[in-house]
C-alpha cells in the first residue's frame, strides 16, 4: 500500500532536505569549477553545461539513503556529504599545487608525491572555510525544521532517481557530442572535468582503475604486431655523428627539477649555472627539449629515457608496472657488454625503484644505504648533491667498463631548501619565495656538477665517457610560475607556460666540438640520440623517440595530457595557438592531434597489455 508523504507547514521532509544538501554542494562545486580550477573556457556556450555537469551525480550519490531504514539513512546521508566534500576540497588543494586532478593510482602512491606534504597548509586559504558553511546549516535544519516520520513515496523516489540518471546521461552525451574523443583521450583530465564535472570524472577514473588490470590477461600476440610495425617505421636517417661516442662509458646526470630558463641567465648580475654555461660551449646543447613527464615525475623521466615509451597518464609506471617485460637501454647495451647502474641518494623503495630497475635490466642500484648519509651532509630529501657526487665518483671508479650509469641528483627539489654555507648566489627577489629559493638550489646543483667533472678528470674517467645531462621535469609548478615570468619579463600566458616546460639537455663528448641543436624534441628522444652516438642502430629498438640531430620538425612533441608543440604551434588544454602570435587557430592542430592520440594509445596498449613479452 502506498503511504502518502506527510508534510506540515514550516517542516520539511527528508527528500527536500536531501535536495537542499545537494543544491548546497552543487553551488559550492560551481564556484570551485569556475574559481578554483583553470578549465580554459573558450566559449560562453560551454558555461551552462559546466554548471549542469555536477548535479546528476550528486543527486544519485545522496539518493542512496532513500533505500535504507530510518536508522541507516542519516549515516548514508552524512557519508555522501563527506565523500562529495572530500573530493571537492581534495581536488581544489591538489589542483592548487599540481594544476591537475587526483587519479586513483596517485592515491596509492601518496608517499611518493613530493611537495604536497610539507606545503599542504600553504595551499589552504581562510576563504576555504566558506566551502564548509553547509556543515553548520544542515544539522540545524535537520534538528529544527525536519518533519519526523515521513516516508518517501515510491513515485517520488522514482522521479528523483530518474532525474539523476537523465542528468548524468545528458552530461555524458553532451560531452561526447562536443568532444568525440572524450573517453579515448581521458588523459586530458582538465577536459574530462570540464565536460563531466568532478564527480563523474572521479567515477570514470575509478572504473578505469578497476578495469585496466585485466588488459594484460586479455592481450594477445596479434595485438603486439601493429605496434611493432608503427615503431619500426620511426627509424630515421643516419647522421655523420653516428658512432661518435662508440664504446665509451655513458654517464647520465638527472638534474632534479631543472628548467631550461636558468641556462645562460643572470640574477643580480650573477650566472645561475656558470659551469653548465661553460660546458655548453663544448657540448651538444639541445635548446628546445621539453619535459614530457606526468604524475610519476623523476621516475617518468627515467622510464622514457630507458624504454622510449611514454609514461602513464595517471600514476607512475614504476609503481604500477614493475612486472612487465621491457626492452630498455640496459638490455640493449648489455649486448655490447655494458654494465648498467643507477646512483641515487634516496631510499631504494621511493618510486618503487628497486623493483623497476630489475625489470629495466640494471646490474646494480646504489641507493641511500650505499652512501654515508649524516644529518650534516643532508638537506630536504636527503644527501646533498656535492657529497652524493663525491661518494659516487669513488664507486664509478670501481665499475667494470664500459658502463652506463645514471646519477640522480636531489638537492634542487621543492621546496628548495639550502643552508647558508651552500648558497653560491643570492636569492632572487621576485614576489614568489619558492622561485627566489629555486635560484640558489639550481646554483648549488651547478657547483656540484662542476666538482663531479673535476673529480672524474682527476680519476681518469672523464676522457672515455660521454655525459648526458638533462633536467628531469619542471621545478616551479604553474602556481608559482609568475615569479619566473617576472625574471624573464614575460606575460603569464598558456603559450609561455608551455615554453617554460623546456628542460636543458646537454650531451658532452670530450674532444667533440660544441653545437646548439635547436630542433624541438622531448625526453623521449634522449634514448635514440644516445644509441645514435654510440653507433647502435635504433631499428627494432621499439621506441617512440627520434634522434634529435635530425628529428622531423613536423612530428609533434607530445605531452602526456594530449597537449603538444609542433612546427610553430602550441596545443594546450584543448586550445590550438600559433606559438609566436598566440592567435587561436583550431584547424591547424587537427592533423597533429591524430598522431598524438595514436602514439599515446599505442604506448598505453604496450604498457597495460605488457605487449613486449610477445616480442622477445
Residue numbers of the site for ligand GP9 (CB under 6 A)?
114, 256, 297-298, 346, 350, 381, 408, 410, 413
Q: Which of 29, 298, 307, 411 is catalytic?
A: 298
Closest CA to 426 of 413, 415, 412, 437: 437
Q: Which residues are annotated as a binding site for substrate?
A: 413
Sign of the alpha-carbon dihedral angle for 310, 313, 316, 321: negative
Enter the C-alpha cell of residue 84.
562529495
Q: How far is the CB of 93 from ligand GP9 (least distance, A)?
A: 17
Closest to ligand GP9 by CB, 412 or 499 = 412
Q: Collapsing DSSP states into helix, strand and coil, what is residue 566?
A: strand
| Segment contacting Mn ion by CB under 5 A, of 200-208, 428-436, 469-477, 562-570 | 469-477
Binding mask 288-317 toward Mn ion (x if CB under 5 A, else -) reads: ---------xx-------------------
Nearer to ligand GP9, 258 or 499 (CB): 258
Cell of 442: 639550481
Residue 194 or 297 having the CB closest to Mn ion: 297
- DSSP one-letter code for 427: P
Q: Please report how close the Cβ of residue 482 comes to ligand GP9 at its closest, in angstroms.
A: 22
Which residues have a Cβ under 8 Å from the Cβ of 190 and sit 6 or more positions away?
A: 37, 38, 39, 40, 100, 101, 561, 573, 574
**Which of Mn ion, ligand GP9, none does residue 346 bind to, with CB < 5 to 8 Å depending on kind?**
ligand GP9
The span from the CA of 500 to the CA of 263, in Å, is 12
Rounded to the nearest whole angstrom, what is the least distance from the CB of residue 296 to ligand GP9 in the complex?
A: 7
Residue 445 interacts with, from Mn ion, ligand GP9, none (CB under 5-8 Å by kind): none
Q: Is 298 a catalytic residue?
A: yes
**Between residues 259 and 538, which has the closer beta carbon with respect to Mn ion?**
259
Annotated binding site for Mn(2+): 256, 298, 472-473
Task: Compare residues 91 and 523 and give the one whose CB is closer to Mn ion.
Answer: 523
Residue with the CB atom nearest Mn ion in the bound state: 298
Size of the site for Mn ion (CB under 5 A): 4
Select the span of 72-80, 270-278, 465-473, 583-591 touching Mn ion (CB under 5 A): 465-473
* Binding-site residues: 256, 298, 413, 472-473
DSSP three-state, residue 578: strand
From 301, 342, 306, select the one nearest 473 (Cα to Cα): 301
What SS3 class is residue 286? strand
Which of ligand GP9, Mn ion, none interacts with 330 (beta carbon under 5 to 8 A by kind)?
Answer: none
Helices (H), 459-585: 482-488, 494-499, 526-533
Tell me the sheet residues that pair with 12: 146
Give the nearest distance from C-beta 449 to Mn ion in angstroms. 16
Report the distance separating Cα 115 and Cα 418, nearest Å. Answer: 16
Angle at the Cα of 139 from the Cα atoms of 138 and 143, rounded to 5 degrees: 120
Which spans of this chain sit near Mn ion (rule: CB under 5 A)?
256, 297-298, 472
Active-site amino acid positions? 298
Amino acid at each position: 500500500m502506498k503511504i502518502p508523504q506527510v508534510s506540515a507547514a514550516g517542516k520539511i521532509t527528508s527528500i527536500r532536505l536531501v535536495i537542499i544538501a545537494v543544491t548546497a554542494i552543487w553551488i559550492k562545486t560551481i564556484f570551485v569549477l569556475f574559481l578554483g580550477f583553470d578549465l580554459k573556457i573558450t566559449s560562453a556556450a560551454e558555461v551552462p553545461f559546466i554548471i549542469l555537469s555536477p548535479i546528476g551525480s550528486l543527486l544519485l550519490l545522496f539518493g542512496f539513503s532513500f533505500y535504507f531504514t530510518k536508522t541507516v539513512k542519516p549515516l548514508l546521508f552524512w557519508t555522501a556529504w563527506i565523500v562529495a566534500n572530500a573530493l571537492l576540497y581534495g581536488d581544489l588543494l591538489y589542483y592548487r599545487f599540481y594544476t591537475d586532478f587526483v587519479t586513483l593510482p596517485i592515491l596509492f602512491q601518496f608517499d611518493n608525491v613530493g611537495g604536497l606534504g610539507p606545503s599542504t597548509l600553504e595551499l589552504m586559504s581562510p576563504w576555504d572555510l566558506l566551502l564548509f558553511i553547509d556543515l553548520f546549516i544542515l544539522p540545524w535544519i535537520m534538528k529544527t525544521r525536519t518533519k519526523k516520520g515521513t516516508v518517501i513515496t515510491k513515485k517520488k523516489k522514482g522521479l528523483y532517481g530518474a532525474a539523476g540518471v537523465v542528468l548524468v546521461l545528458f552530461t555524458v552525451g553532451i560531452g561526447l557530442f562536443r568532444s568525440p574523443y572524450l573517453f579515448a583521450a581521458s588523459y586530458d583530465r582538465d577536459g574530462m572535468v570540464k565536460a563531466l564535472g568532478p564527480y563523474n570524472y572521479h567515477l570514470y577514473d575509478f572504473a578505469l582503475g578497476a578495469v585496466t588490470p585485466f588488459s594484460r590477461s586479455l592481450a594477445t600476440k596479434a595485438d603486439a604486431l601493429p605496434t611493432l610495425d608503427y615503431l619500426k617505421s620511426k627509424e630515421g636517417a643516419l647522421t655523420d655523428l653516428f658512432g661518435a661516442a662508440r664504446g665509451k662509458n655513458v654517464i647520465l646526470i638527472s638534474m632534479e627539477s631543472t628548467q631550461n630558463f636558468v641556462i645562460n641567465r643572470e640574477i643580480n648580475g650573477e650566472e645561475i649555472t656558470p659551469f653548465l654555461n661553460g660546458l655548453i660551449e663544448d657540448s651538444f646543447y639541445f635548446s628546445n627539449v621539453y619535459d614530457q613527464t606526468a604524475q610519476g615525475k623523476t621516475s617518468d623521466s627515467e622510464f622514457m629515457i630507458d624504454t622510449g615509451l611514454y609514461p602513464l597518464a595517471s600514476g607512475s609506471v614504476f609503481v604500477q608496472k614493475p612486472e612487465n617485460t621491457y626492452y630498455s637501454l640496459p638490455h640493449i647495451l648489455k649486448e655490447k657488454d655494458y654494465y648498467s647502474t643507477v646512483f641515487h641518494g634516496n631510499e631504494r623503495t621511493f618510486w618503487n625503484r628497486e623493483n623497476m630497475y630489475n625489470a629495466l635490466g640494471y646490474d646494480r642500484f646504489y641507493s641511500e644505504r650505499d652512501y654515508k648519509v649524516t644529518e650534516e651532509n643532508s638537506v630536504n630529501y636527503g644527501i646533498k648533491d656535492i657529497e652524493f657526487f663525491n661518494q659516487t665518483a669513488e664507486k664509478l671508479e670501481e665499475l667494470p667498463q664500459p658502463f652506463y650509469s645514471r646519477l640522480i641528483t636531489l638537492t634542487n627539489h621543492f621546496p628548495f631548501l639550502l643552508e647558508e654555507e651552500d648558497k653560491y648566489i643570492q636569492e632572487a627577489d621576485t614576489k614568489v619565495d619558492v622561485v627566489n629559493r629555486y635560484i640558489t638550489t639550481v646554483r648549488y646543483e651547478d657547483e656540484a656538477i662542476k666538482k663531479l667533472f673535476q673529480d672524474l678528470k682527476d680519476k681518469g674517467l672523464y676522457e672515455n665517457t660521454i655525459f648526458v645531462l638533462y633536467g628531469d621535469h619542471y621545478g616551479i609548478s604553474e602556481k608559482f610560475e609568475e615569479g619566473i615570468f617576472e625574471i624573464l619579463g614575460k606575460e603569464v600566458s598558456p603559450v609561455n607556460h608551455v615554453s617554460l616546460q623546456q628542460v636543458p639537455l646537454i650531451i658532452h663528448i670530450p674532444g667533440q666540438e660544441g653545437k646548439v641543436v635547436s630542433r624541438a624534441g622531448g625526453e623521449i628522444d634522449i634514448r635514440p640520440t644516445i644509441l645514435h652516438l654510440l653507433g647502435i642502430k635504433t631499428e627494432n629498438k621499439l621506441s617512440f623517440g627520434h634522434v634529435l640531430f635530425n628529428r622531423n620538425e613536423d612530428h609533434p612533441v607530445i605531452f602526456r595530457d594530449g597537449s603538444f608543440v609542433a612546427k610553430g604551434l602550441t596545443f594546450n588544454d584543448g586550445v590550438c595557438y600559433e606559438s609566436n602570435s598566440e592567435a587561436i587557430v583550431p584547424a591547424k592542430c587537427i592533423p597533429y592531434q591524430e598522431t598524438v592520440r595514436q602514439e599515446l594509445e599505442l604506448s598505453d596498449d604496450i604498457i597495460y597489455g605488457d605487449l613486449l613479452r610477445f616480442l622477445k
